[in-house]
Chain A
Amino acid sequence: MKGKLEPAERQKLIEEGKNLKEALTTLEEDLVKLRDELQIEAQCIPNLTHPDVPIGWEDSSKLRNMVGSPRKFDFPVKDHLQLGKELDLFDFDAAAEVSGSKFYYLKNEAVMLEMALVNWTLTEVMKRGFTPLTTPEIVRSSVVEKCGFQPRGENTQVYSIEDSDQCLIGTAEIPVGGIHMDSIVAESALPLKYVAFSHCFRTEAGAAGTATRGLYRVHQFSKVEMFILCRQEESDMYHEELIKIEEDLFSSLGLHFKILDMATGDLGAPAYRKFDVEAWMPGLERYGEISSASNCTDYQSRRLGIRYRPSESPSTTSKKGKTNVAATKIVHTLNATACAVPRMLVCLLENFQQEDGSVSIPHPLRPFTGGVEAIYPKSR
């Protein structure tokens, strides 16, 4: 229409232009809707799976490793609830009135033990080059979703804040994952290794039965979490590193535990591979999960929008001396529990109880308890 035209021709073109414009608008709207629907459906597709992961449900999980063996007791073993009552370490009853079931107060030496566990764990993991953090415990729900959780699902584990788009975190994995949201990091910055301490909140909707007594399943707890962002080629290696750190931590506390390579039915959408640590809990007479290490490869990072720019190599410099900017790549993310305090308290109390009713504190923790070596029954 830019050239010279007869009026009739011009008119025809104007008509044609108008029709095209309308058709385009409709199609463009359809395209947006299609893209949206594609996103919604595609986001449901779970991460790929590591070739070595067993296929099936919980029964199919494979034992990777076992450390230690169950302690032999020559006196009747008490569970952590009974020990807690006798040693005046927790109060579930008052908390039930004030807050509801599965809430608790820690008292006396349990407070000190929680702090010692957190302190020691942070110190140990920092020694391995992780940057310590504390994190927000209220986050936007979009960040929760990008990490692979579902705030609004039926039986959701996530508490939402009234009149807002915010939620309470169930794990520090979420706010730490969000730190580098929508950004490009330099390859030289990788790996980014964080160890984060936070309180965690979980609704535990849908959880019922005996596996919920006392500290085993609670709505609020303290946790130290490890989080790594790395190059794609290195995530398997860092997964091994994380599980090794966990193994070191738990064995130095004297716990007996097994490490499982979780089967496909138990992975959850984000994990490419997941190792669970189940520690022996003599009072509960079974193994209980105290930790989990997941390699989420690019599942979370594709949603969080975290990429890295590979460093240029001299060979890519073009003839004109202009360096080619390498295309960015998606990072891989991994997360692993360094210390989930209530489950650790169950382990420590039940495993290290003595015949006289006291509980011995593992040696590595003693520098962090101000030298306190044991918890003794109180005279009443």
Chain B
Amino acid sequence: MALQCRLSGATFQSLKLATIPISSSSSRFIFRTLPKTLNLALFSRHSAPKAPPFSVLIRTLSAPAVAAAPAAETSDIKVVKPQWNAAIDFKWIRDNKEAVAVNIKNRNSNANLELVLQLYDKMLNLQKEVERLRGERNNVANKMKGKLEPAERQKLIEEGKNLKEALTTLEEDLVKLRDELQIEAQCIPNLTHPDVPIGWEDSSKLRNMVGSPRKFDFPVKDHLQLGKELDLFDFDAAAEVSGSKFYYLKNEAVMLEMALVNWTLTEVMKRGFTPLTTPEIVRSSVVEKCGFQPRGENTQVYSIEDSDQCLIGTAEIPVGGIHMDSIVAESALPLKYVAFSHCFRTEAGAAGTATRGLYRVHQFSKVEMFILCRQEESDMYHEELIKIEEDLFSSLGLHFKILDMATGDLGAPAYRKFDVEAWMPGLERYGEISSASNCTDYQSRRLGIRYRPSESPSTTSKKGKTNVAATKIVHTLNATACAVPRMLVCLLENFQQEDGSVSIPHPLRPFTGGVEAIYPKSR
């Protein structure tokens, strides 16, 4: 039976592309009748049961999982070695197992906590045994240094040989146990902020609403119609050249995309973020460490043939990878990046009306904010990120609401997630344009990013030697500053005029070379 870590990797944190409005009765109906896993595929960004992040996991023992048994039984478990290890605090999990269990349930994860605890116990016992045997082997080795009767020496040689064989077997078992423990434990989702509502999409809490829906005194067009009349996109040619959900941007839409990206980068840089462009092809292990599953069923991730590389679905991935396997100085924190990249998503499993036009596409431009900080500060930076988003979107004149997403919608990496849903009058509903997640130590434990606290004078010992403080795991956060297609939907639909033109928001005009509106072209 293959292990399936449902929800162990959120598909994409920064954009929940399948938001179905709470008010839609049809979605409620489907929520109730379909099994949860199918729900996930259709209505959240979490795909249907995903395969574990490793190629194969075959467990030949039937449930209940590994019992407290002699070491020999563990060799029945065929475990493929994890490609990388996360720095998981097993002891903490054991000491807080009730809270972890509740969290797993609230998140609707099928991580197997019982198994993790059992494996951990087994591993500790096995470690002790290995230590003991090593000790005995050392004793034997020491004894053999002295003067001995030949018979005695022979006995010791025998003993030493037996110990060595036993040790080899136990050490192999220990490796397998550690591997299986890793695989199971990596499925455990992040903890949850105490204020996060428990439940599904219906339970998400409104944090804040900005503005109100514009009142139109003429018939409202959706972005597809506006795009056609203003000659701004071509989906048909793209369907031939590439497939559905691809598009060309044309004319003023090109300029508008560049203005959006340029303005967003400029605004976020003003707030102390370092601008970046990133690789869009990355190793699949980096994708996994950020909490996504390149090889899962209904994966959102495109893979490159004959390689271990994938296309990124968000700049969160290559930015998270920058400080992979390293220790940063505390004085360097917080590290604040604003990254521009193209993003690629298979959108496998996404279907229905929430996919028309620019609303759901395979390729798009996005500006992403990413913060690495000290543990105590991540809540504060989460507030900072959502504030930046609020500033950006309100200065563009959009009407939107900010939601505190419920536990069922968080995905494995997020401790807390705020989604921004903007009013799209042509689609007659709110659509997600942004997402801000505090991933605390989930990604950093996998990416191996730590910081060394600065020494304080009080830790200097008597001899004048400063104590090197133990390193700590950083916290990471990410937030969408601008997802271009959804922003285009908002701008076109909200700022359309009766004469068929679209007015460009004032903050963008310096970046459009002064162009103030998009006008219908005479044909």
Residues of A within 8 A of B (CB): 91, 94-95, 97-100, 103-108, 111-112, 114-115, 118-119, 122-123, 131-140, 143, 159-163, 166, 168, 175, 178-182, 197, 199, 201, 219-220, 370
Contacts and interface: CB of A to CB of B under 8 A. Distances in A.
Given A111-B265, A179-B234, A98 B283 contact: yes
B362 A138 contact: yes
CB-based closest 5 A-B pairs = A178-B241, A98-B321, A99-B279, A160-B305, A136-B242
B415 interface: no
A143 B242 CA distance: 9
B303 interface: yes
A161 B346 CA distance: 11
A107 B281 contact: no
Contact of A111 (B251, B275, B283): B275
B340 A111 contact: yes
Of B249, B266, B306, B325, the most chain A CB neighbours within 10 A belong to: B249
A31 B311 CA distance: 43
B216 interface: no
Contact of A139 (B242, B275, B340, B513): B242
Given A99-B309, A370-B266, 4 more contacts: A107-B276, A115-B258, A138-B302, A161-B302
Nearest to B341: A199
A226 to B, nearest CB: 14
Contacts of A197: 254
A99 B318 contact: yes
Contact of A136 (B246, B303, B325): B246
Given A138-B302, A199-B342, A143 B241 contact: yes
B322 A94 contact: yes
A175 B241 contact: yes
A118 B276 contact: no
Contacts of A139: 241-242
15 contacts: A94-B323, A95-B279, A97-B321, A103-B281, A105-B277, A111-B277, A112-B265, A134-B248, A134-B257, A137-B363, A138-B362, A140-B243, A162-B303, A181-B240, A199-B280
A99 B254 contact: no
Contacts of B257: 134
Nearest to A181: B240
B108 to A, nearest CB: 29
Contacts of A100: 281, 283, 309
B248 A135 contact: yes
B261 interface: yes
Given A133-B254, A161-B305, A119 B262 contact: yes
A107 B325 CA distance: 21
A54 B269 CA distance: 51
B364 to A, nearest CB: 10
Contacts of B249: 133-134
Contacts, number: 148
Given A138-B344, A179-B234, A103 B279 contact: yes
A175 B242 CA distance: 8
A103 B322 CA distance: 12
B61 interface: no
Nearest to B265: A111
B277 A114 contact: yes
Interface residues of B, number: 51
A201 B277 CA distance: 15
A236 B278 CA distance: 39
A97 B321 CA distance: 8
Contacts of B303: 161-163
Given A137-B363, A220-B279, A179 B322 contact: no
A140 B250 contact: no
B238 interface: yes
A255 B401 CA distance: 50
B324 interface: yes
A118 B362 CA distance: 23
A111 B276 contact: yes
Interface string B227-253: 000000010011011110011111100
Nearest to B242: A136
Interface string B276-298: 11111111001000000000000
B203 interface: no
Nearest to B259: A119
Contacts of B286: 98-99
B280 A105 contact: no
B250 A133 contact: yes
Contacts of A103: 279, 281
Nearest to B322: A94
B5 to A, nearest CB: 21
Of A105, A112, A163, A179, the most chain B CB neighbours within 10 A belong to: A105
Of B234, B246, B281, the most chain A CB neighbours within 10 A belong to: B281
Of A95, A131, A181, A197, the most chain B CB neighbours within 10 A belong to: A95
B30 interface: no
Contacts of B247: 136
Contacts of B324: 94, 97-98
A87 to B, nearest CB: 13
Contacts of B234: 179
Contacts of A180: 237
B248 A122 contact: no
Contact of B250 (A132, A160, A161): A132
Nearest to A367: B513
Contacts of A138: 242-243, 246, 302, 344, 362-363
B321 A115 contact: no
A133 B253 CA distance: 8
Interface in B322-375: 322-325, 340, 342, 344, 362-363
B240 A178 contact: yes
Contacts of A122: 254-255, 258
B274 interface: yes
B251 A131 contact: yes
A115 B261 contact: yes
Of B241, B251, B280, B323, the most chain A CB neighbours within 10 A belong to: B241
A112 B262 CA distance: 8
A106 B243 CA distance: 31
Contacts of B304: 159-162
B254 A134 contact: yes
Contacts of A91: 322
Contacts of A107: 274-276
Given A98-B324, A108-B275, A181 B340 contact: no
A118 B258 contact: yes
Given A143-B241, A178-B240, A105 B246 contact: no
B228 to A, nearest CB: 16
B279 A98 contact: yes
A174 to B, nearest CB: 8
B344 A105 contact: no
A122 B340 CA distance: 19
Contacts of A182: 240
B321 A179 contact: no
B237 A108 contact: no
A140 B309 CA distance: 19
